Structure 1
Amino acid sequence: MRAVAIALATLLGSSINAAAAQDASVVIETGDVDRFYRIYDAAGGHPRADTLQRDYLDQGSEGLQRLARLRNVTGQSIADAITKRPEMYVQARDCGDVLPRVRERLAVALGRLQQAYPQMRSAPITIAVGRGKPVGVGSRESGVQIGLEALCANPWMNPDVEDRFVRVAVHEYAHVQQVVAFSEAEGVTVLAAALEEGAAEFVTELTTGAVSYAYMAGLVSGREASIETAFAADMDKTELSDWLYNSTPDKPADLGYWVGYRIVKAYYQQADDKQQALADIFEMRDPKAFLARSGWRPGTALGQ
């Protein structure tokens, strides 16, 4: 892995339409991964908490610093995670071999996003090593941070590790574009949170060809209408745990992501002006009004 930040435009090969991403200036930073494994190797796979804090976190990229602040990543928490799950950090080193190809594919996907949404907000994508979670974080203020070891350790999301990296990164990058982060507000409703996450899933499909949660199609198959009917009954609730942020490796869930994706896709498909529709998705401020304009109902048929 190269410990440098690369502008997306420089990654485009001759077989890719450079016009689709010529203005994309997103930086993908992986230097923190290289620094972590230098420290890790020097300590025989058991670095001390103070060493991780001083030589890894305190010397880290701006993205790693943000991740540490947002999700309580400390030298001690990483050392504890290494002790508890040493195999996760061994696996992450091999998993990281896909990053050069991930860079190339992200260049294409985000180039497509910029073409579809010319006002795309640029923010860095940092891939670093943390404490086993989170898998990914994305926001308008903080850019995107991906936990290498966490994403590598969650094959249930998508068995193809390269696809997993690309699509999770694009999902989080979509959050950077959203004017309102509903999930961070007090008293957020199931509908608002589902539309926030569903919009990110739709944008991932629009730019990469598939959503980030690959398991979802099998999970909902044959139950689509009943799931959406139950969602419609719960969408004004402020207790999210039945619909969002409730997946585990043993029990994948997060069905609110899927319903939100379906509502957003319905809105986009019925729109004559696709560029304006995408702007409406990112600039959504009133979830109920957006839902009404989407034409979605439980069991609504959508095109591909």
Structure 2
Amino acid sequence: MKMIKTAFCLGLVWGASAYADPELHFVDLQEFNAALDAIEAGESPLSAMESYVAQASPVFQAYAQRYETSAASIADAYSERPGYYRSLPELEGYIRLREPEIVSALSRLEAMAPAGEVVPTYFMVADQRAGGTPVLAAGAAGPQINIAVAVDMIALTAETDMSEFPGGTGGRAEASDLPQVVIHENAHVLQLAAQGGLEAYRSIYSPEGGNMLAVAVREGCAEYLTYLASGWRLGDRHVYGEANERALWSEFEAVMDAPPFSVPGWFSGRHPDHADWPAQIGYWMGFRICEYHHQSAADSDAAVRDLFTLYRPDDLRPLAEAYGASLSAN
């Protein structure tokens, strides 16, 4: 769930005329379903996925470029877990049932933001490398930001054949988390708008612009803003976090100035000493820092603006220190 790369800095369409109401698009899911039908009719997975990729939306193409996703990589993922992949087109019906909730939450999120608008979301199938992310894709009025959601990373259900996942879920989320992902990724788009848009974008995902704390707050604030707008959380990592808050803060305080993503276990991978940590527990750590800043602020509206606008490590340290001090005081 990484932010947009700085290479996408020209020709952005951003204004009232760019988008109307929040839009959910299923064209890529439908094209993938056609590829499955072709496989059932005897076509090879590679050939079917080549057709799928060729017919896919510009948003899929932008996602595929970002994550080096190809027809071959999708065919390989399908061949490894065919039952799982055959279930993915069914998610369109589930998402459509929840569309009113999603649209309402997006409207509340947009109302909280000091600048910007929510953007269209495209649901697609990829190769289990990434879930949701904003991308810049070609549009009728020029390049536009959209949300790409690869449902293959967010599709586990009680009916999922876990024999196709002998190594565990590997950070994959439940299908019921799809609405939360849509709001979370739009929170990133609105953070970008509040910070001046693509032309003024400063990456906090590189050592030059950020650190572990900056990543935690960027992602954690998006999680918290999503929660304020919808009441939704991703999975149940907050249960572990709340039960182990002091220990987690002690661990994170020791590494928060380290380069982004330099310590495993917080945002990706597994910590060598903490196999029990839920995936991406650093998102929850950032959530708590942002939550404390908002709930303890004398000016609640100003604190919400901070959740969208703050990004510099030097500006974020006081938030983290205040949160840490609150734990010491209790």
Question: What band does the TM-score fall into relative to the shorter chain?
Answer: 0.7 to 0.9
Match of 1:184 among 192, 202, 205: 205
For each residue in 1:7-63, what CA deviation from the matched residue of structure 2 results, as whole angstroms up to 9, or x when unmatched? xxxxxxxxxxxxxxxx9633211111011101211221764424422x322222121
Any stretches of 5+ residues in structure 1 without a counterpart? 1-22
Matched, 1:241 2:241: no
Relative to structure 1, the CA distance from residue 241 to residue 25 in structure 2 (aligned partners, 3 Å threshold; closer, same or farther) is same
> Secondary structure at the residue paired with 2:324?
coil
- One-letter code aligned to 2:258: K
- One-letter code aligned to 1:49: L
Matched, 1:220 2:217: no
For each residue in 1:57-87, what CA deviation from the matched residue of structure 2 results, as whole angstroms up to 9, or x when unmatched? 2222121111111111211111111111112
Match of 1:288 among 314, 317, 329: 314
Match of 1:161 in 2: 175
Relative to structure 1, the CA distance from residue 271 to residue 167 in structure 2 (aligned partners, 3 Å threshold; closer, same or farther) is same
Match of 1:173 among 168, 171, 186: 186
> Secondary structure at the residue paired with 1:152?
strand
> Secondary structure at the residue paired with 1:235?
coil
> Partners in 1 of 2:296 and 2:186 — Cα distance?
24
Matched, 1:82 2:81: no
For each residue in 1:118-167, what CA deviation from the matched residue of structure 2 results, as whole angstroms up to 9, or x when unmatched? 523332211011112312223687431111222103887798633x0111
Relative to structure 1, the CA distance from residue 250 to residue 91 in structure 2 (aligned partners, 3 Å threshold; closer, same or farther) is farther
- One-letter code aligned to 2:233: V
CA contact (8 A) 1:158 1:215 kept: no
User: How is 1:97-176 mapped onto 2 (pairs within 5 angstroms)?
Assistant: 97-117=93-113, 119-138=115-134, 142-153=145-156, 161-162=175-176, 164-176=177-189
> Partners in 1 of 2:54 and 2:304 — Cα distance?
39
- One-letter code aligned to 1:297: G
> Partners in 1 of 2:20 and 2:304 — Cα distance?
18
Relative to structure 1, the CA distance from residue 289 to residue 83 in structure 2 (aligned partners, 3 Å threshold; closer, same or farther) is same
> Partners in 2 of 1:178 and 1:220 — Cα distance?
25
CA contact (8 A) 2:122 2:147 kept: yes
Q: Percent identical across equivalent pairs? A: 24
Instruction: Choose 250-259 or 105-114, whichever is displaced more.
Output: 250-259
> Partners in 2 of 1:272 and 1:24 — Cα distance?
35
Any stretches of 5+ residues in structure 2 without a counterpart? 1-18, 137-143, 159-168, 193-200
Relative to structure 1, the CA distance from residue 47 to residue 280 in structure 2 (aligned partners, 3 Å threshold; closer, same or farther) is farther
Matched, 1:267 2:289: no
Relative to structure 1, the CA distance from residue 206 to residue 292 in structure 2 (aligned partners, 3 Å threshold; closer, same or farther) is same
Relative to structure 1, the CA distance from residue 181 to residue 161 in structure 2 (aligned partners, 3 Å threshold; closer, same or farther) is farther
- One-letter code aligned to 1:136: G
Count of aligned pairs between the two proteins: 276
CA contact (8 A) 1:24 1:110 kept: no
Relative to structure 1, the CA distance from residue 289 to residue 183 in structure 2 (aligned partners, 3 Å threshold; closer, same or farther) is closer
The TM-score with structure 2 as length reference comes to 0.74
> Secondary structure at the residue paired with 1:296?
helix
Instruction: Choose 105-114 or 239-248, whichever is displaced more.
Output: 239-248
- One-letter code aligned to 1:147: A
> Partners in 2 of 1:233 and 1:117 — Cα distance?
32
Match of 1:16 in 2: none
> Partners in 2 of 1:87 and 1:183 — Cα distance?
38
> Partners in 1 of 2:89 and 2:270 — Cα distance?
25
> Secondary structure at the residue paired with 1:184?
coil
Give the root-mean-square deviation of aligned CA atoms: 3.0
Structure with more relative contact order (C-alpha pairs < 8 Å, separation 6 or more): 2
Match of 2:197 in 1: none
Relative to structure 1, the CA distance from residue 279 to residue 161 in structure 2 (aligned partners, 3 Å threshold; closer, same or farther) is same
> Partners in 2 of 1:263 and 1:82 — Cα distance?
39
User: How is 1:190-209 mapped onto 2 (pairs within 5 angstroms)?
Assistant: 190-209=212-231
- One-letter code aligned to 1:143: N
The TM-score with structure 1 as length reference comes to 0.80
User: 1:105 offset after TM fit, Å?
Assistant: 1.5
4+ aligned runs moved over 4 Å, structure 1: 139-142, 154-160, 180-183, 247-251
- One-letter code aligned to 1:254: Q
User: 1:182 offset after TM fit, Å?
Assistant: 4.2
